[in-house]
């Protein structure tokens, strides 16, 4: 039982990070129906920006987090403008290949500039831990989970209550109808990339602090798993991405805790396959019916 609770605590920390990344996949998919494979690399670059901010500028956790989020947002907007916008009317496969190309480009450009070696964050958060019964909870885990929850609450607020959030939902639902309301589709798409990328950047910083190691290819596996999380929750669904991220994180730690950590990644992708077979739309995926 204690071991189970311990794994849950670890799983929730990891899962909140997956959820932050998964949100970007799902929001971008919702608005332009693209799986943005470069998204995991925005997360990686966010981690490096956080690294630079804490190591060279000697900033603390919150300033570094905010700088990484802003820079990632700018990067997201840039990627969309340069790589995807010119292909707005091209075939899906062309855009998908561009996204994969963009992913490699970011990885190897980073490798060129920062080198391939693994780097570690300075100690910006206390690594004190305390015991709850026999379950050990680390202060860093609390920071991760609280940060993720706060960001998701802000996101929910933006999407449901603000004008730009309503515009995002309108453009996701029907671009022509949105234009007839006076909504600027391009601006709204840029904004969506900005928010999704900012969340990924935050995830990057949290991982950098938690696992204390970053490298230019660190985005590949979490990127893929967050994508699985988004599909698991129902791609296009924001609550789905949150639930999906948490579920994948928890399942993954349970598998490595009880089984063998070697099977951890295989297990995640096995889940993807099972989901695609039994519930292709994901757990919160919508099969919208329209009235004629």
Partner 1 sequence: MLQIKNLNVHYGVIQALKDVSLTINEGEIVTLIGANGAGKTTTLRTISGLNKATSGQIFFEGADITNMPATQRVKMHISQVPEGRRIFPEMSVLENLELGAYLRNDKAEIKKDIQNVYGLFPILGNRKKQLAGTLSGGEQQMLAMGRALMSRPKILLLDEPSMGLAPLLVREIFDIIKNINSTGTTVLLVEQNARMALSIAHRAYVIETGSIVMSGTGEELSKSDDIQKAYLGGGE
Specify the residue, 158 or 224, whose C-beta has the smaller distance to partner 1. 158
Closest to 16 in 3D by CA, of 172, 144, 113: 144
Interaction between residue 44 and partner 1 (CB under 8 A):
no
Please give the Cα distance from 219 to 138 (Å, whole number): 24
In the complex, the smallest distance separating the C-beta of residue 243 from partner 1, rounded to whole angstroms, is: 18
Q: Provide the token pair at 122.
A: 């300075």
The CB-of-233 to partner 1 minimum distance in angstroms stands at 16
292 touches partner 1 (CB under 8 A): yes
**What is the rounded distance in angstroms from the CA atom of residue 219 to the CA atom of residue 88?**
26
97 binds partner 1 (CB under 8 A): no
Nearer to partner 1, 123 or 286 (CB): 286
Which residues, numbered 163-182, are part of the site for partner 1 (CB under 8 A)? 163, 166-167, 169-170, 173-174, 176-177, 179-182
Using the rule CB under 8 A, is 183 a contact of partner 1? Answer: yes
Cα separation, 236 vs 234, whole angstroms: 6
Report d(CA 65, CA 51) in Å as an integer. Answer: 10
287 binds partner 1 (CB under 8 A): no
Q: In which region does residue 288 sit, left (phi positive, over 0), alpha (psi from -120 to 50) or beta (all else)?
A: beta
What's the min distance (Å) between Cβ of 171 and partner 1? Answer: 10
Among 117, 128, 278, 291, binds partner 1 (CB under 8 A): 291
- Minimum gap (Å) between residue 94 Cβ and partner 1: 18
Residue 242 in the binding site for partner 1 (CB under 8 A): no
- In the bound state with partner 1, the residue whose beta carbon lies nearer, of 184 and 260, is 184
- Residues 274, 37: Cα–Cα separation, whole Å: 22
Task: Determine if 288 is a binding residue for partner 1 (CB under 8 A).
Answer: yes
Give the CA distances from residue 49 to residues 30, 70, 106, 203, in Å, rounded to whole numbers and listed in that order.
27, 10, 14, 12
Handedness of CA 152, 14, 32, 186 (dihedral sign): positive
Residues lying near partner 1 in the complex (CB under 8 A) are found at 163, 166-167, 169-170, 173-174, 176-177, 179-184, 286, 288-292
């Amino acid at each position: 039982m204690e071991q189970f609770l311990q794994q849950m605590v670890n799983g929730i920390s990891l899962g909140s990070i997956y959820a932050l990344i998964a949100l970007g996949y799902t929001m971008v998919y919702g608005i332009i129906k693209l799986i943005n494979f470069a998204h995991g690399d925005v997360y990686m670059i966010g981690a490096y920006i956080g690294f630079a901010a804490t190591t060279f500028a000697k900033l603390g956790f919150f300033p570094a987090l905010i700088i990484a989020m802003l820079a990632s947002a700018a990067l997201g907007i840039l990627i969309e403008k340069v790589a995807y916008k010119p292909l707005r009317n091209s075939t899906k496969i062309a855009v998908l290949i561009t996204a994969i190309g963009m992913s490699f480009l970011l990885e190897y450009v980073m490798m060129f500039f920062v080198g391939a070696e693994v780097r570690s964050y300075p100690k910006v958060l206390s690594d004190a831990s305390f015991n709850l019964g026999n379950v050990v909870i680390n202060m860093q885990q609390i920071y991760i989970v609280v940060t993720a929850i706060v960001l998701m609450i802000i996101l929910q607020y933006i999407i449901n209550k603000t004008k730009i959030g309503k515009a995002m939902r309108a453009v996701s639902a029907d671009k022509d109808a949105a234009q007839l309301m006076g909504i600027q589709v391009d601006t709204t798409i840029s904004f969506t990339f900005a928010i999704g990328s900012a969340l990924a950047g935050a995830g990057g910083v949290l991982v950098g602090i938690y696992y204390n190691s970053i490298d230019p290819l660190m985005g590949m596996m979490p990127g893929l798993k967050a994508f699985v999380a988004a599909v698991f929750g129902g791609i296009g669904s924001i609550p789905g991405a949150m639930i999906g991220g948490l579920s994948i994180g928890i399942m993954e730690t349970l598998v490595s805790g009880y089984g063998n950590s070697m099977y951890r990644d295989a297990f995640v992708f096995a889940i993807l396959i099972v989901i695609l077979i039994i519930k292709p739309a994901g757990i919160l995926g919508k099969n919208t019916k329209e009235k004629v």
